[in-house]
Chains A and B, each alone.
Chain A
């Protein structure tokens, strides 16, 4: 190909190097995330905790419900009880692993539910705008009047103790927050020129929503929701601690923290274990969500 200096077209065409193979956006994000060591370490920890919770019955652990008065509050490292025993003499290792099943469920499920509902509400409010936006967003504001802990306790208290009720109450706590984020992201994207251009090319609202809005809106909401998982875990543990979530003798980290509280002077290390699990899972979700956020910011 010859370069003629007068041809503007040739100049512009030469400015770009030959293109490597096209890669989808999420594939690029995935690769960037794989290169982030902190995120990968957190993902590994979470994976282990999830896996152990999932296959708990086949791990050959002791019965998490079987207590014994003579083996109460053994220290960490006791032969036969690697993580000691709780105030009723039940094996702590087994209870922590089994506890993950309920704790993770009531930590994550409300966020998933709220992600679905909140994204839908926020998308509608942000895309349609006008009176519908006012109606949805002012309703959401009502929930903002209460601190989230208080709201969760109030709803759980009204519905009564139980796993399903605490999941419902946590979902109600998170829906307004996700709706708010979804609405602001949607409003921002909706006013971009490329959405105008799509309207100018004659596309209907659903096509625009599917092709132009969703891809740009879901990412930030997803990152925000991942960050909420740790909050949800802690709130769920708090509800159990107050007796509004799971009921004894179910193994659940928040509840275990509550019942072991009385043993804190006798055996502080064992009493702290459920808290350490909650801490580990929360911080891993938080760091992972941070990693995801920076991986998705592809421009730098």
Chain B
């Protein structure tokens, strides 16, 4: 391995202003609707990709987002990165409103992203070293210093710089490419890294290696992760808290153990039940939920899950339930069965007082 003893000459990270109690990222009412063009005379429709999503990420934790394809996970990531304009909602980074107290350019350094497709996210015409050095150079680092930093970071992600720095993306494997993408994200000294299905395209053994690398880097650089995945095992392994999304909405959120042990929303229950078990005696015989998610162009009124929910009652189709706190601190779910005296036959009888 590379003999690194001297500190790396990195970009200065965005300073910690709010202290440990201030969440690193606060998202409120995040909304993105895509207009869909119909025929010439058809009414204008919109896809509600992300609808009124609110959550916060504390400093130093890993928050997982799970949900099936098309539920708005990646759109959320792109909205947070400001790669796409949002229709409504506030994004506050360490107590600073983006665009006011914190410029977009500064935010880019404070927040970075690793994409799913390791090949498409590297420029095929640039060497690995050039790809990693690009970001620091944009932020005013000299070419030589940026290249030195790139080589140091290659070592940090487990790729010997003398072997890899001058290679092109097509010359290395998928796992190695994803390590390069991680190094590229780290080159701007971010405090928050969004991992959008970053390990989903890798095979299992490589995936495990990259997950361990992510844990090591988190400790070494004091990072905070937003980890987006459809793989529940991976999310449970890496996350402290988890957000479950369905059709652009957060249906449940809470500490990962609490959500796994006592899922409150029927969708979360179905997702967990759909996980393949390695025990042949506990194999899943019947599908936990049937049907496809409804078209997000035309989401059902009321609770968006009621069309597939086995416990749906007339009440569910009328108005959408709000996220409500449950017994475990920090655990919330948007389901009438979790809201005391909501009128649903399975709702808890009395508000719990503690």
Closest to B173 in A: A15
Shortest distance in angstroms between B331's beta carbon and chain A's nearest beta carbon? Answer: 32
Give Cα distance in the complex from A17 to B209, angstroms: 20
Pick the contact of B1: A13, A202, A299 (CB < 8 A): A13
B278-309 contacts to A, CB under 8 A, are none
A145 is an interface residue with CB less than 8 A from chain B: no
B144-160 vs A: 1/0 string, CB under 8 Å?
Answer: 00000000000000111
**Which B residues are in CB contact (< 8 Å) with A198?**
123, 134
Interface check A216, CB cutoff 8 A? yes
A interface SS class: helix
Give A11 to B205 CA distance when docked, in angstroms: 12
B108 within 8 A of A: yes
Contacting pair A16 B167 (CB below 8 A)? yes
Given A12-B179, A16-B176, A200-B112, are A212 and B123 also a contact pair (CB < 8 Å)?
yes
Q: How far is the CB of B161 from chain A (nearest CB, A)?
A: 9
A9/B170 in contact, CB under 8 A:
no
Q: Is A68 an interface residue (CB 8 A)?
A: no
B125 on interface, CB distance cutoff 8 Å: yes
In the assembled complex, how far is the CB of residue A295 from the closest CB belonging to chain B, in whole angstroms?
Answer: 15
> In this assembly, does A197 line the interface, its C-beta being within 8 Å of a C-beta of chain B?
yes
Residues of B contacting A200 with CB < 8 Å?
Answer: 81, 83, 108, 112-113
Give min CB distance, A210 to chain B, whole Å.
Answer: 11
**Residue contact B125 to A215, C-beta cutoff 8 Å:** yes
Query: Given the complex, which residues of A lie within 8 Å of B13, measured CB to CB?
Result: none
For the complex, what is the distance from the CA of A20 to the CA of B109, rounded to whole Å?
33
Question: Do the beta carbons of B127 and A12 come within 8 Å of each other?
Answer: no
| CB <8 Å contact, A193 and B115 | yes
Q: Do A194 and B163 touch (CB < 8 A)?
A: no
Q: A15-B173, A22-B127, A194-B131 are in contact. List 13 more A-B contacts (CB 8 A).
A: A9-B1, A10-B158, A11-B209, A13-B160, A16-B167, A16-B176, A25-B125, A193-B115, A197-B115, A200-B81, A215-B125, A216-B124, A298-B170
Chain B residue contacts of A207, Cβ below 8 A: 138
Instruction: Considering the complex, give the chain B residue whose CB is closest to the CB of A192.
Output: B120
* Known A-B contacts A197-B113, A197-B115; A202 and B108 likewise in contact (beta carbons under 8 Å): yes
List the A residue with the shortest CB-CB distance to B129: A22
A202 touches B135 (CB 8 A): yes
Residues of A within 8 A of B163 (CB): 13, 16-19
A residues within 8 A CB of B213?
8-9
Tell whether, in the assembled complex, residue B115 and residue A201 are in contact, meaning their CB atoms are under 8 Å apart. no
Q: What is A's interface to B at a CB cutoff of 8 Å?
A: 1, 8-13, 15-19, 21-22, 25, 192-194, 196-203, 207, 211-212, 215-216, 298-299
Q: Are A203 and B134 within 8 A (Cβ)?
A: yes
Q: Which residue among A1, A12, A22 has the maximum number of chain B CB atoms within 10 Å of its CB?
A: A12
Q: Which chain B residues lie closer than 8 Å to A201 at the CB level? A: 108, 112, 134-135, 138-139, 184, 188
With a 10 A CB-CB cut-off, give which of A9, A15, A17, A207 has the most chain B CB atoms.
Answer: A9
For the complex, give the distance between the alpha carbons of A8 and B120 in Å. 24
Segment 99-143 of B: residues with Cβ below 8 Å from A: 104-105, 108-109, 112-113, 115, 117, 120-127, 131, 134-135, 138-139
CA of A215 to CA of B184 in the docked complex: distance in angstroms?
20
0/1 string, B8-29, CB within 8 A of A gives 1 = 0000000000000000000000
Q: List the 5 closest pairs (A to B, CB-CB), nearest first.
A: A22-B166, A9-B158, A202-B108, A8-B209, A201-B135
Distance A97 CA – B30 CA, assembled complex (angstroms)? 71
In this assembly, does B246 line the interface, its C-beta being within 8 Å of a C-beta of chain A? no
A12 touches B167 (CB 8 A): no
Chain B contributes a number of interface residues (CB within 8 A of A) equal to: 48
Query: 21 A-B Cβ contacts within 8 A?
Result: A8-B212, A8-B213, A16-B172, A16-B176, A18-B163, A19-B164, A22-B127, A22-B165, A25-B125, A193-B115, A193-B121, A197-B113, A200-B83, A201-B184, A202-B105, A202-B108, A202-B138, A203-B138, A211-B123, A216-B125, A299-B170
Q: How far is the CA of A21 from the CA of B228 in the complex (A)?
A: 38
Residue of B nearest to A193 (CB): B121
Q: Which residues of A contact B78 (CB under 8 A)?
A: 196
Cα distance, A201 to B126, chains bound together (Å):
16
Which residue of chain A lies nearest to B112 when distances are taken between CB atoms in the complex? A200
Q: Establish whether residues B138 and A13, one from each chain, have CB atoms under 8 Å apart when the complex forms.
A: no
Q: Are A21 and B166 closer than 8 Å at their CB atoms?
A: yes
Of all chain B residues, the one with the shortest Cβ separation from A1 is B1
Decide yes or no whether B257 CB sits under 8 A from chain A: no
Q: Is A19 touching B166 in the complex (CB atoms < 8 A)?
A: yes
Q: Is the CB of A196 within 8 A of B188?
A: no
Look across to chain A and name the residue whose beta carbon is closest to the beta carbon of B138.
Answer: A203
CB-defined contacts of A8 to chain B, threshold 8 Å: 158, 208-209, 212-213
CB closest chain-A residue, reference B121: A193
Q: What residues on A are CB-neighbors of B173 within 8 Å? A: 15
Q: What is the minimal beta-carbon distance from B183 to any residue of chain A, in angstroms?
A: 12
B341 contacts the other chain (CB 8 A):
no
The residue from A13, A21, A192, A215 contacting B159, defined by CB atoms under 8 A apart: A13
Q: How far is the CA of A1 from the CA of B162 in the complex (A)?
A: 14
- Nearest Cβ on chain A to B286's Cβ, whole angstroms: 38
Nearest to A212 among chain B residues (CB) is B123
B175 adjacent to chain A (CB < 8 Å): yes
Nearest chain A residue, comparing its CB with the CB of B117: A193
A111 to chain B, nearest CB (A): 24
Residues on the B chain within 8 Å of A1, using CB? 1
Cα distance, A196 to B194, chains bound together (Å): 14
Chain A residue contacts of B159, Cβ below 8 A: 12-13, 16
Which chain A residue has the least Cβ–Cβ distance from B103? A202
Which residues of the other chain, B, contact A16 by a CB distance below 8 angstroms? 159-160, 163-164, 167, 172, 176
Among A202, A298, A299, contact of B139 (Cβ-Cβ < 8 Å): A202
Q: Whole-angstrom distance between the alpha carbons of A200 and B84 in the complex?
A: 10
Considering the complex, give the chain A residue whose CB is closest to the CB of B163: A16
Alpha-carbon distance A215/B165, docked complex (angstroms): 19
Tell me the bound Cα distance from A212 to B131 in angstroms: 10
Q: Chain B residue with minimal CB distance to A298?
A: B170
CA distance A212 to B173 in the complex (A): 22
A173 CB, nearest partner CB in chain B, Å: 31
